[in-house]
Amino acid sequence: MGARAIGIYSIFVISDNGVVLVLQRATHHTLRALGAALAGLELTAAEINALANLADGRVRSVSRLSAETGTRATTLTGVLDRLERRGYLTRRLDSADRRSFLLTLTEEGRLAAARVRAAVTDLERAALAGLSADQIAGYHAVVAALQEVC
Amino acid sequence: MGARAIGIYSIFVISDNGVVLVLQRATHHTLRALGAALAGLELTAAEINALANLADGRVRSVSRLSAETGTRATTLTGVLDRLERRGYLTRRLDSADRRSFLLTLTEEGRLAAARVRAAVTDLERAALAGLSADQIAGYHAVVAALQEVC
DNA sequence: TATTGTTATACTCTATAACTATA
DNA sequence: TATAGTTATAGAGTATAACAATA
């Protein structure tokens, strides 16, 4: 946020660095940090993202996970293939809608997901330590607003 | 942010959905929205990100752009190759440090970058319309904090 | 007819390491 | 010795379109 003098005019700009550009940058950095923190698990960014969302233990369809992660279903197919091959999750037909698969973490998958979750919350705790609840609420409001117009 | 009752205990969680997970999701969505808005230019996400940062017209080194976009230098090489082949930018040796290249947009590159910038600010304007300066400041504080610990 | 999820294809992104040239 | 940037390689992410099964 800021006002900048240009000649005799003063124009108001949304942000000196835009909310979108810093979003991309922060995403790149956090993905790399999480990958490093979880180096022992040999997970890619998309796998970490999927596991972090699955970590709550709730059973979901692929399309649901797709919406939560922001990853396309075509991409998720490959990600889920790898997680399934690794024994981290199972796909079983949803008897209520037999076009759909229900994703369930295995015991081993729950352990891995818990470690992912821990790494994520560690990072969040460290980052947000000095910030106020209002600032964090503002963050969520902006991100939600970006989501809505996309 | 929220408190959740688990049995007789009430635990405080940093966020119901974590700042990191929503960051990933929002990034996926904005990248897709920008790609669609700029469909005529046939640009990939990394190319859009690079052009959006170069749009201010400042001359930069590859490492500088790498820091700004959050993209690795090895990835940027390919991105810059394509932008250069397209006639959007030039690489020339920095006479002050002859290991380094200075990236400069061509006239055509400036036009493309301006369109990228416009798409980004359009999206930001639409998203941030109903939000307060404090909320946006909170967003920037959180993103900056994430950056610092990564 | 529309939706869920997979497959196929082609291209881009990413990590890692090795390399050249310069500092 | 360290740094800037490129190259090489292999694997992962992405868009698009086509497809089967189901709704």
**B143 lies within 8 A of chain A by CB:** yes
The answer to the question of residue B85 being in a domain is: yes
In a domain, B78, yes or no: yes
Task: Provide, as residue numbers in chain B, all residues whose Cβ is less than 8 Å from the Cβ of A150.
Answer: 26, 29-30, 32-33, 123
- Residues 6+ away with beta carbon under 8 Å from A54: A60, A65, A89, A103, A105, A109, A113
What stretch of H or E contains B34? helix B19-37
Average pLDDT rounded to a whole number, residues A121-134: 95
Residue A11, pLDDT above cutoff 60: no
**Separate counts of helices (H) and strands (E) for chain A:** 6, 5
- pLDDT of A136 higher than 80: yes
**Interchain CB distance below 8 Å, A127 and B136:** no
Taking an 8 Å cut-off on Cβ atoms, the answer to whether B121 and A18 are in contact is: yes
* Strand C nucleotides with an atom less than 7 Å from a protein beta carbon: 3-8, 12-17, 21-23
Hey, are the CB atoms on B23 and A22 less than 8 Å from each other?
no
Interface A–B counts its CB contacts (< 8 A) at: 205
Distance (Å, whole) CA A24 – CA B143: 10
Give the Cα separation of B36 and B145 in Å (integer). 30
Q: Is residue B97 domain-resident?
A: yes
Q: Which among A52, A145, A150 has the least Cβ separation from residue B131?
A: A145
Return all residues near B55 (Cβ < 8 A) that are at least 6 apart: B105, B110, B113, B114, B116, B117
Structure tokens given for A101 = 């698969």
Please indicate, yes or no, if residue A50 is contained in any of the structural domains: yes
Sheet holding B60-61, edge to edge: B60-61, B97-105, B89-94
pTM, to two decimals: 0.86
Structural domain count, chain B: 1
A5 lies in some domain: no
Name the amino acid, one letter, at A6: I
Chain D nucleotides covered by protein, CB below 7 Å: 3-8, 12-17, 20-23
- A6 lies in some domain: no
Backbone phi and psi for residue A91, each to the nearest 5 degrees, phi listed first: -110, 125
Q: What is the CATH number of the domain that holds A106?
A: 1.10.10.10
Instruction: Answer for the pair A68, A52: CB distance below 8 angstroms, yes or no.
Output: no
Q: What residue numbers bound the domain in which B25 lies? A: 17-122
**Is B150 among the domain residues?**
no
pLDDT tens for each residue of A13-22: 334 578 999 9
Q: Please, what is the end-to-end C-alpha distance for chain B in angstroms? A: 22
**Residue B3: inside a domain:** no
Q: What is the pLDDT along chain B (150 residues), one digit of tens a residue?
A: 333 322 222 223 334 578 999 999 999 999 999 999 999 999 999 999 999 999 999 999 999 999 999 999 999 999 999 999 999 999 999 999 999 999 999 999 999 999 999 999 999 999 999 999 999 999 999 999 998 888
Q: What tens digit of pLDDT does each residue of B32-56 get?
A: 999 999 999 999 999 999 999 999 9
Confidence of residue A8 (pLDDT cuts 50, 70, 90): very low
- Per the CB < 8 Å rule, is A145 touching B127? yes
User: With 60 as the cut, is the pLDDT of residue A5 above it?
Assistant: no
Sheet holding A97-105, edge to edge: A60-61, A97-105, A89-94
